[in-house]
Chain A
Amino acid sequence: MHSKKLGWLLLAPTLLILGLFGIFPFLYVVWVSFHEWNPFAANPAKIFNWAANYRKLVFDAQFLASLGVTMAFVFFAVVSEVIIGYLLAQAFMKDFPGRAFFRTIHTLPLIMAPIIVGSIWKLMTTPSIGIIPYMLKHTVGFDLNIGTSAVAAFAITVIMDIWHWTPLVTLTLIAALVSLPSEPFEQAQIDGANKRQIFWHLTLPMIRPALIATVFIRLMDAMRTVDEVLMLTGGGPGSATRYVGVHIFREVFPRTNYGYGSAVSVIVLYLTIVICWLLYVSLIAPRTRKGSS
């Protein structure tokens, strides 16, 4: 009994902080999402409107389009980051001159604030001064202008995200690879397994938990990308890179559409949870059940 009380006492600061900065703001956003509230409207008061905001967003072409491009962005960015991250992790596992130096260099983007990353890429892609349009023009004769080409803008935001976040995947997978026992691999080699078989039947299943956790983290992060895209393209050209994070930002801050913006935020959070749950169910749960039966 005494230890239970002490346990709660020790947990109290954490619960308090979690409640104050996590649970309460979330509940407040949910509450606001059931209101029509724009402080710059003729009537700036909060007006309870039941689920009208949720009903509206189902038919909001701009929101649906923004959700579509976000899904494409998340797919290309996360898949690329996992593949490149794994290859880099494998490369960094090997011994070569300057390995420590390259490991350090490659993690540098991680410590940069997204707004800085956006600024750097903006400088690199602006037609008159950017190194990327210059190199493309002078090597393959391609005119890159992310202000006019929707495809180019989309591709550059994906590449920027890969550049920024692949090191996180690499570091996580290095940690997973380092912790793998050597015996199964030695046995597989003795049994004559080739590299592909070792990868599919040993490495991948053994690093699966770390891989899935990394995918979850990157997926959730990519779904809420705002700063770097806002700085690089502003969501343009047109709505080509108006990802849901940018869409929510524009609804909530400049447009001060607090009620509707909150509803969009809640739905995006719900979608993120559903996607993660689906991934969990399809990749982790069957194996857990198989293992326990």
Chain B
Amino acid sequence: MGYFSKASALALAIGLLGVASPAWADFWSDAGAKYKGVVLHGVTESTPPSNFIKDVLAPEFEKKTGIKVEIETTSWDQMYDKAIKDMEAGTGIYDMVYIEQDIIYAYLARNFLTDITKSLKDMPDLKAPTYDDANFTSFANYFKNADGDLFGVPMEAFLKLYLYRKDLFDDPKIQAAFKEKTGHDLKPASTHAEYTEIADFFTQYGKDNGMELWGSTAQAHTGHPASWYEFFESVAPTFGVYNWGIDASKNYAASVANGGTMNGDKAKAAIKWWLHLRDIAPPESPQSTWTEVGTTFAAGRAAQGLVYGENGAWIQSDATKSKVTGKVGFALPPLEPGVLEEAEAGKGYIGYYDGGAFGLPITSKNKEAALLFLQFIGQNEVQPDWAVAAPRITNTATYDDPKVKEMDAKLGGYYTMLKDKGKLFAGAPPYPFHAQVREATAPIFYDILTGKIGPDEGLDAMAAKAEEELTTLGYRK
């Protein structure tokens, strides 16, 4: 009898498992059933990670849930234009919008976004068993409010790193020439002085040998915000100028006179250093945004440079687009003495941690279905293939995946650097007025680049303009 009881219980358990397991495995079709036929609309910048969502994740999600997802990939400017207009006017065209790390503060200030953490708590039926906010790397913190609630599912994260041409740096002939000329060994620069020395050497070397080779890249467009960003987010921090030189704790001061650092000695040294590099960089540099810097490096026209990680990865691995695959080394940006220590102590940072998330506009008409999709793209399960197709990592578990480890080796340890050194970098400062201050000061910045105004007086004018704009906007009292 005991045997029969045990056998019955086992059979019942197996039967129940048999019934329950498909239900568990089929969360997406069950949860999606209610929304079958719904069409979700998203807008994002046309980048490899976004294209992966459009081409791979969206169709996969549709297959599992019956919810169609249409992702519109467009230019950076257009993407913001469309998303902001939609949320501002409350038209509810988009159910998902790309949120670059630097605009999250403005979106939160305007209550444009849905609280994803709270929504999933309020609607537990929609909570996917494979999704957890805790799966994300610390980059997700940029998309959280003061209560720790998440407002965007991270979908890309990169560091802006120092890339150098390993093949050139390891060439004995070049090493000897460098030693002869400078008295130093040729190795990746760790200080600005070393970087300049290497840049000067390679520009001259290219000239002397009739090569299309220059010593450094420069994202120095004279009419596009990319140059402004390169200076304030990648160059100035390496000199110890943080948060664009604006101090929120001092009534949003930008000028030294009021407690800011935008026109301080460090900022002035930084801009002079960078302008010199611009002058010895490839001739396309005054027309280069982040994209062109990537293509310049990929074309083998620069020996070293500060390049966004999203570009660094394909430069190193995609032979269809890059002439220097497998020849690229990744290192931390060159720094002034003391900056690394400040970053390690959490009092500063050494460069830009770039990235973005997918958020759910408060004006969306399909919030529940969109929540499902956001969880779908935030699962650990979809990350490895995504990381291989479009080098980016947003979930901690992704680092340990064999495919990703293989990719890391191919990329010369880029992912390891993202994992181990990511904490030394920072995103844009937590201000809700990014575009406003940038646009107000950018014309003066472009005038510095064209030489219409000197770097010192230019930074003075920019600091004054930033304070004027912040006063007009009502942040500076």
Smallest distance from the beta carbon of B306 to chain A beta carbons, Å?
Answer: 18
* A147-B287 in contact (CB<8A): yes
Q: Is B50 an interface residue (CB 8 A)?
A: no
* A147-B436 in contact (CB<8A): no
- Residues of chain B contacted by A127 (CB below 8 angstroms): 282-284, 287
Instruction: Report if A255-B439 is in contact (Cβ < 8 Å); known contacts: A40-B433, A150-B450.
Output: yes
* A39-B110 in contact (CB<8A): yes
Q: Is A53 an interface residue (CB 8 A)?
A: no
Instruction: Report if A40-B222 is in contact (Cβ < 8 Å); known contacts: A147-B286, A250-B439, A254-B438.
Output: no
**Interface residue SS majority, chain B:** helix
* B450-A44 in contact (CB<8A): no
* B474-A43 in contact (CB<8A): yes
Measured CA separation A238–B222 after assembly (Å): 6
- Residues of chain B contacted by A143 (CB below 8 angstroms): 283
Per-residue CB contact flags for chain B residues 222-261 toward chain A (1 = under 8 Å, else 0) read 1111000000000000000000000000000000000000
Measured CA separation A253–B225 after assembly (Å): 14
- Residues of chain B contacted by A255 (CB below 8 angstroms): 435-436, 439-440
- Residues of chain A contacted by B432 (CB below 8 angstroms): 40
- Residues of chain B contacted by A40 (CB below 8 angstroms): 106, 109-110, 432-433, 435-436, 473
- Listed in ascending order, the chain B residues whose CB lies under 8 Å from chain A are 77, 80-81, 84, 88, 106, 109-110, 212, 220-225, 282-288, 292, 296, 299, 301, 432-433, 435-436, 438-440, 443, 446-447, 449-450, 452, 472-475
- Residues of chain A contacted by B286 (CB below 8 angstroms): 145, 147-148, 237
Stretch of A86-94, A205-213, A228-236 with 4 or more beta carbons under 8 angstroms from chain B = A228-236
Q: Is A282 an interface residue (CB 8 A)?
A: no
* B439-A254 in contact (CB<8A): yes
Given contacts A38-B436, A128-B212, A233-B223, 15 further A-B contacts (CB under 8 A): A40-B432, A40-B473, A62-B443, A127-B287, A128-B282, A128-B283, A128-B284, A128-B299, A147-B222, A237-B446, A237-B449, A237-B450, A239-B443, A253-B81, A254-B77
Taking a contact as CB atoms closer than 8 A, the residue among A41, A147, A250 that contacts B285 in the complex is A147
Smallest distance from the beta carbon of B297 to chain A beta carbons, Å?
Answer: 12
Smallest distance from the beta carbon of B371 to chain A beta carbons, Å?
Answer: 26
Q: Is A241 an interface residue (CB 8 A)?
A: yes
Specify the chain B residue showing the minimal Cβ separation from A130.
Answer: B284
Smallest distance from the beta carbon of A37 to chain B beta carbons, Å?
Answer: 11
- Residues of chain A contacted by B472 (CB below 8 angstroms): 38, 41
Per-residue CB contact flags for chain A residues 41-71 toward chain B (1 = under 8 Å, else 0) read 1111000000000000000001000000000
* B221-A234 in contact (CB<8A): yes
Most chain-A Cβ atoms within 10 A of its Cβ — which of B220, B440, B446? B446
* B284-A38 in contact (CB<8A): no
6 A-B contacts (beta carbon < 8 Å): A62-B443, A128-B299, A147-B288, A233-B223, A237-B223, A240-B450
Taking a contact as CB atoms closer than 8 A, the residue among A39, A62, A126, A148 that contacts B222 in the complex is A148
Taking a contact as CB atoms closer than 8 A, the residue among B439, B449, B474 that contacts A42 in the complex is B474
CB under 8 Å from chain B, chain A span 226-267: 233-242, 250-251, 253-257
Taking a contact as CB atoms closer than 8 A, the residue among B88, B212, B224, B440 that contacts A234 in the complex is B224
Measured CA separation A240–B450 after assembly (Å): 10
* B221-A236 in contact (CB<8A): yes
Smallest distance from the beta carbon of A149 to chain B beta carbons, Å?
Answer: 9
* B223-A145 in contact (CB<8A): no
* A256-B223 in contact (CB<8A): no
Measured CA separation A240–B432 after assembly (Å): 30
Measured CA separation A106–B452 after assembly (Å): 39
Most chain-A Cβ atoms within 10 A of its Cβ — which of B109, B282, B450, B475? B450
Q: Is A146 an interface residue (CB 8 A)?
A: yes
* A42-B450 in contact (CB<8A): no
Measured CA separation A223–B38 after assembly (Å): 44
Measured CA separation A128–B84 after assembly (Å): 35
- Residues of chain A contacted by B283 (CB below 8 angstroms): 127-128, 143, 145
